Structure 1
Amino acid sequence: MIARYIYAIIFLIMSVIAWMLRDYSHRTLNDLHFLRGCGGEQECLGAEGVLRASFGCFLFFFVMYLTTVRTSRTDDPRDSWHSGWWPVKAFILAFFIVIPFFIPSAFIQIYGEIARFGAGIFLVIQLVSIVNFIYWWNESWLSDNNIRRCRIPIVLVSVLSFVASIGAIILMYIYFSPRASCGLNIFFITWTLVLIIIMTIISLKPDINAGLLTSGLMALYLVFLCWSSIMSEPVSETCNTMTRQTGKGDWLTILSFLIAFGAIVMSTFSTGIDSKAFSFKTDEDPSEDKVPYGYGFFHFVFAMGSMYFAMLLIGWNLHQTAHKWSIDTGWASVWVKIVNEWLAAALYIWTMIAPFVIKDRDFSSH
Structure 2
Amino acid sequence: MGLVCSTAQLACLCGSTACSFCCSQCPSCRNSTSTRIMYALLLMLGAIAACITMAPGLQNALKKVPFCANSSSNYVPPETVNCEAAVGYLAVYRICFILSLFFFLMSVIMIRVKSSHDPRAAIQNGFWAIKYLLIIGGIIGAFFIPERSFGSTWMYFGMLGGFLFIIIQLILIVDFAHTWADAWVGTYEETESKRWYAALLGTSVFNYTFSITGIVLLYIYYTHPSECALNKFFISFNLILCVITSIISILPTVQEHQPRSGLLQSSIVTLYVVYLTWSGISNSPDSACNPGFLPGISNNDIKNRVTFDKESIIGLMIWFSCVLYSSLRTASKSSKITMSENVLVQDNGAVRNEGEQSLIDNEDYTTVEGRNPDAEGGHVTKVWDNEEEKVAYNWSFFHLMFALATLYVMMTLTNWYQPNSDLKTLNANNASMWVKIISSWMCLALYVWSLVAPAIFPNRDFS
Q: TM-score, normalised by structure 1?
A: 0.79
Distance 1:268 1:211 in 2: 22
Distance 2:438 2:330 in 1: 24
How big is the shift at 1:72?
Answer: 7.2
The residue that corresponds to 1:94 in the other structure is: 136
Q: CA RMSD in A?
A: 4.0
Alignment partner of 2:435 out of 336, 353, 357: 336
The within-5 A match list for 1:246-325 is 247=302, 249=304, 256=310, 259-260=313-314, 262-263=316-317, 266-267=320-321, 269-270=323-324, 272-273=326-327, 274=329, 276=331, 277=335, 278-279=340-341, 283-288=347-352, 289-290=385-386, 294=393, 296-316=396-416, 318-320=418-420
Q: Tell me the matched-pair count.
A: 359
Distance 1:31 1:223, change over 3 A: closer
Distance 2:448 2:238 in 1: 14
Distance 1:241 1:184, change over 3 A: same
The residue that corresponds to 2:50 in the other structure is: 15
Q: Is the 8 A contact 1:56 1:99 kept in 2?
A: no
Tell me whether 1:158 sits opposite 2:191 in the alignment.
no
The within-5 A match list for 1:57-72 is 57-68=99-110
The residue that corresponds to 1:218 in the other structure is: 269
Q: Any idea what the Cα deviations from partners look like across 1:302-341, whole Å, max 9, x if unmatched? A: 2112222333345445433698xx9964433322221111
Q: Could you tell me which runs of 5 or more consecutive residues in structure 2 were left unpaired when the two chains were aligned.
A: 7-37, 256-260, 353-384
Q: Could you tell me which runs of 5 or more consecutive residues in structure 1 were left unpaired when the two chains were aligned.
A: none
How big is the shift at 1:137?
Answer: 0.5
The residue that corresponds to 2:252 in the other structure is: 206
The residue that corresponds to 1:128 in the other structure is: 171
Q: Any idea what the Cα deviations from partners look like across 1:28-73, whole Å, max 9, x if unmatched? A: 1368664446844473534655433322111122233344566676
Higher mean displacement: 240-249 or 178-187: 240-249
Distance 1:83 1:284 in 2: 18
Distance 1:216 1:79 in 2: 42
Q: Is the 8 A contact 2:417 2:427 kept in 1?
A: no
How big is the shift at 1:84?
Answer: 3.7
Q: Give the letter aligned to residue 218 of structure 1.
A: V
SS in 1 for 2:186: coil
The residue that corresponds to 1:56 in the other structure is: 98
Distance 1:75 1:205, change over 3 A: same
Q: Is the 8 A contact 2:308 2:413 kept in 1?
A: no
Q: Give the letter aligned to residue 85 of structure 1.
A: F
Distance 1:265 1:221 in 2: 12
SS in 1 for 2:42: helix
Q: Give the letter aligned to residue 170 of structure 1.
A: V
Q: Give the letter aligned to residue 65 of structure 2.
A: L
How big is the shift at 1:101?
Answer: 4.8
Higher mean displacement: 49-58 or 14-23: 14-23
Q: Is the 8 A contact 2:347 2:392 kept in 1?
A: no
Distance 1:358 1:303, change over 3 A: same
Q: TM-score, normalised by structure 2?
A: 0.64
SS in 2 for 1:142: helix
Higher mean displacement: 344-353 or 82-91: 82-91
Tell me whether 1:170 sits opposite 2:232 in the alignment.
no
Distance 1:74 1:143 in 2: 36
Q: Give the letter aligned to residue 324 of structure 2.
A: S
Q: Is the 8 A contact 1:18 1:50 kept in 2?
A: yes
Distance 1:131 1:327 in 2: 33
Q: Is the 8 A contact 1:53 1:97 kept in 2?
A: yes
Q: Give the letter aligned to residue 61 of structure 1.
A: F
Higher mean displacement: 239-248 or 87-96: 239-248
Tell me whether 1:141 sits opposite 2:219 in the alignment.
no
Distance 1:322 1:72 in 2: 50
Q: Any idea what the Cα deviations from partners look like across 1:258-292, whole Å, max 9, x if unmatched? A: 73574275145235425735326974424244269
